[in-house]
Amino acid sequence: MNERNLAGLAAAVLQPGFVGTTPPDWVCRWLGDGLGAVVLFARNVADPGQLAALTATLRAERPDVLVAIDEEAGDVTRIESVAGSSRPGNLALGAVDDPALTEEVARDLGADLAALGVTLNYAPDADVNDNPANPVIGVRAFGAEPDLVARHTAAWVRGLQSAGVAACAKHFPGHGDTRVDSHHDLPRIGASRARLDAVELVPFRAAVAAGVQAVMTGHLLVPALDAELPATLSPRVLGDLLRDELGFSGVVVTDAVEMRAVADRYGFAGAAVRALAAGADAVCVGGEHADEAAARHLRDAIVTAVVSGELPEERLAEAAKRVGQLAAWTVAARAGRPARDLPDADGSPIGLAAARRALRVSGAPAGRLPLTTPAHVVEFVPPRNIAIGPETPWGIGEPLAALLPGTTTVRLAETDLPADPVAGVDDRPVVLVVRDLHRHDWMRAAVDRVLADRPDAVVVELGVPALTAGRVHLATHGATRAGARAAAELLAGLG
């Protein structure tokens, strides 16, 4: 095969990102030359009308283009990054533990994505978050119990795909039991093969059984499966395990290849080539390297690897074929469906109802709730999670002030923490808002100081509720707009 044809195959397996709210010229040109997909980020989304116009422009260049997005709902949202997700995330759905509700929420999200022109969603997160110290998964997982995660993963896949949008279970073979974020370094999962079968792999088996169209790899070193290569680059993990043992026949997508877990060791082009050789079908890139030069660098590296024999031509052709089959699935899934209105600013009523069901109150709320006067809210701000992104707003103060006018809010990070976070508050009700209190010593110490002086303070946990603090503790199981509104309603006596 000549290099021009090889370049077309190489472009077919790329899923690059770009900057801007309209497709740049290079993306449109590449779609005509064989580019199979693009991935959208929050930076590409201003409002529903703009996003629908963007995807229509892409589809005008190539009708079957895969338009991917990382829309988990919950804390990780791209289509609602301006206001926060109007749907609860996985941990909240797992706390309710009603698979029918999970399926309904995912179907509702899928309908919105389909209306916006998105055809592939990098979700659900199928990780079992059984390590409370995990810095990157947390509320993105349905929970810490394998069977619970499995039944909700399957329900989420069924719901999303019933709306005509392909689901992508991640991060194979399981990112839950780690203290390391693969954006920064290579996590090592020390579990035995028996443990992997009993825990990490259970939800992925359920996803495959539910007909998931894609699986995303995790940049994870799992010695029980491969002592040398990260899962994304390992034929043992992608071929022997995912294809042969689990029977998955859909598209294998890499997590972003510029992430330091693989890029620091192999270069992001080297990681892409190795991933394709190992059995991946599509290469996600563009969170950081989001221009034509980066895409060209990857495409040319893939072509060079085929010419040199490092990457068999048959493997590249197989990968491109699978991507084409997924594109055909999305076209067929959209065919004949009635048009749905674009999402409005109020968000999802189904999501708000689900968030209300996910609230959990512990302690002695009688006599402390509801709040009947304006409160003082202290929101403790942890270091940002790269997967969630810095642009998505969160917190209880604003929705609570809408219900209790006069409520005030301060936001405090570790670097600007005063000795007394509630100095001068007098006798107003105090609400302490935390995210993953159990993971941040400084936050826990500050909360303890406030509770020593104000034992009547209410603690609201927006992260994983692994640590219960205060006489009244409210857990939302996620820092979403829906969860915040539900919590504010409960605090104000409207829930």
349 in a structural domain: no
Helix ranges restricted to H, 117-228: 146-162, 193-198, 201-209
CB 384 within 8 A of CB 390: yes
For residue 329, the model assigns a pLDDT of 98
Say how far apart CA 274 and CA 259 lie, in whole Å.
15
Three-state DSSP class for 1? coil
Residues 13 and 128 placed together within one structural domain of the fold: yes
Tally of domains in the chain = 2
Residues 166 and 273 placed together within one structural domain of the fold: yes
Tell me how many degrees the CA angle 126-127-129 measures, rounded to the nearest 5.
140
CATH number for the domain spanning 413: value is 3.40.50
Of 318, 334, 350, at which residue does a domain stop?
Answer: 334
Residues 311 and 262 placed together within one structural domain of the fold: yes
Q: Which residues are catalytic?
A: 183, 255
pLDDT of residue 145 exceeding 80, the answer is yes
Q: Concatenated DSSP letters for 260-304?
A: HHHHHHH-HHHHHHHHHHHT--BEEE-SS--SHHHHHHHHHHHHH
For residue 3, the model assigns a pLDDT of 67
408 in a structural domain: yes
Nearest to 13 by CA among 298, 393, 333: 298
φ/ψ region of 122 (left if φ > 0, alpha if ψ in -120 to 50, else beta) reads beta
pLDDT of residue 390 exceeding 90, the answer is no
Helix ranges restricted to H, 13-61: 25-32, 48-61
CATH number for the domain spanning 240: value is 3.20.20.300
Q: Which of 132-136, 208-212, 286-290, 481-485 has the lowest mean pLDDT?
A: 286-290
Give the chain's mean pLDDT: 94
Residues 64 and 191 placed together within one structural domain of the fold: yes
Three-state DSSP class for 425? coil
Residues 244 and 382 placed together within one structural domain of the fold: no
CB 276 within 8 A of CB 302: yes
Say how far apart CA 74 and CA 121 lie, in whole Å.
14
Give 3-state DSSP helix, strand, coil % of the chain, rounded to 5.
45, 15, 45
Residues 369 and 480 placed together within one structural domain of the fold: yes
Residues 29 and 177 placed together within one structural domain of the fold: yes
Residues 273 and 377 placed together within one structural domain of the fold: no
Q: In the numeric block, which tokens belong to residue 383?
A: 């270091």
Q: In which domain, by residue range, is 320 found?
A: 3-334
The residues pairing with 381 across neighbouring beta strands, listed in sequence order, are: 413
- CA gyration radius, the chain: 23
Residues 249 and 329 placed together within one structural domain of the fold: yes
Sheet containing 458-461: order of strands: 360-363, 472-475, 458-461, 430-434, 376-381, 408-413
For residue 286, the model assigns a pLDDT of 76
User: pLDDT tens across 35-81, in order?
Assistant: 999 999 999 999 999 999 999 999 999 999 999 999 999 999 999 99
For residue 180, the model assigns a pLDDT of 67
| pTM of structure | 0.96
For residue 27, the model assigns a pLDDT of 97
Residues 145 and 71 placed together within one structural domain of the fold: yes
328 in a structural domain: yes
Q: In the numeric block, which tokens belong to residue 303?
A: 């072509």
Residues 315 and 393 placed together within one structural domain of the fold: no
| C-alpha distance across the termini of the chain, in Å | 65
User: Which residues are CB-neighbours of 102 under 8 A, at least 6 positions away?
Assistant: 93, 96, 142, 152, 155, 156, 159
Preceding amide of 455 cis, omega within 30: no
CB 395 within 8 A of CB 431: no
φ/ψ region of 367 (left if φ > 0, alpha if ψ in -120 to 50, else beta) reads left
User: Which residues are CB-neighbours of 220 under 8 A, at least 6 positions away?
Assistant: 171, 173, 174, 175, 178, 182, 186, 187, 188, 189, 230, 231, 261
Residues 245 and 370 placed together within one structural domain of the fold: no
User: pLDDT tens across 161-201, in order?
Assistant: 999 999 999 999 999 988 766 677 788 999 999 999 999 99
350 in a structural domain: no
351 in a structural domain: no
Counting every residue written for the chain, the total comes to 495
User: pLDDT tens across 71-112, in order?
Assistant: 999 999 999 999 999 999 999 999 999 999 999 999 999 999
For residue 89, the model assigns a pLDDT of 97
For residue 244, the model assigns a pLDDT of 98
197 in a structural domain: yes
347 in a structural domain: no
119 in a structural domain: yes
For residue 287, the model assigns a pLDDT of 77
CB 395 within 8 A of CB 484: yes
The residues pairing with 68 across neighbouring beta strands, listed in sequence order, are: 39, 120
Q: How many CB atoms lie within 10 A of CB 456?
A: 13
Distances, alpha carbon 214 to alpha carbons 12, 124, 157, 209, 261, in Å: 16, 10, 10, 12, 22
The residues pairing with 69 across neighbouring beta strands, listed in sequence order, are: 40, 121
